[in-house]
Amino acid sequence: GNSVTQMEGPVTLSEEAFLTINCTYTATGYPSLFWYVQYPGEGLQLLLKATKADDKGSNKGFEATYRKETTSFHLEKGSVQVSDSAVYFCALSGDNYGQNFVFGPGTRLSVLP
């Protein structure tokens, strides 16, 4: 079945550091890929998505490129801020009718001033 693997946290960075959170997936066909973010005390919200190979999703300075050849969707940001501290979830939606979403376990990011 479909699955998502992402790097274990927690990740602790200093402000303005470069961020990479790795995400790889296993899926049949051509899934859509997502990053969701959960800020402290808040609900899950979509950060960015990509629906086909080589698409780049971007939002709030974050980017992720759908790489079918490496089955990856790594999240990157060039300069993190304290306000980026949150839990980040990689997810995919299978391309077969009835496929449920699959979420990764989440990576907790802490950005220190």
Partner 1 sequence: GAGVSQSPSNKVTEKGKDVELRCDPISGHTALYWYRQSLGQGLEFLIYFQGNSAPDKSGLPSDRFSAERTGGSVSTLTIQRTQQEDSAVYLCASSLSLAGGRGTDTQYFGPGTRLTVL
Which one of residues 11, 19, 31, 64 is an interface residue with partner 1 (CB under 8 A)?
31
- Name the maximum alpha-carbon separation found in the chain: 45
DSSP assignment of 91-108, as one string?
Answer: EEE-SSTTPPEEE---EE
Q: Is 99 in the site for partner 1 (CB under 8 A)?
A: yes
In the bound complex, what is the minimum distance in angstroms from residue 68's beta carbon to partner 1?
16
Question: Which segment (11-19, 39-47, 62-70, 73-81) binds partner 1 by CB under 8 A?
Answer: 39-47
Cα torsion 100, 9, 40, 20: sign: negative
CA 24 to chain centre: 10
Q: Is 43 in the site for partner 1 (CB under 8 A)?
A: yes
- Nearer CB in complex with partner 1: 100/113: 100
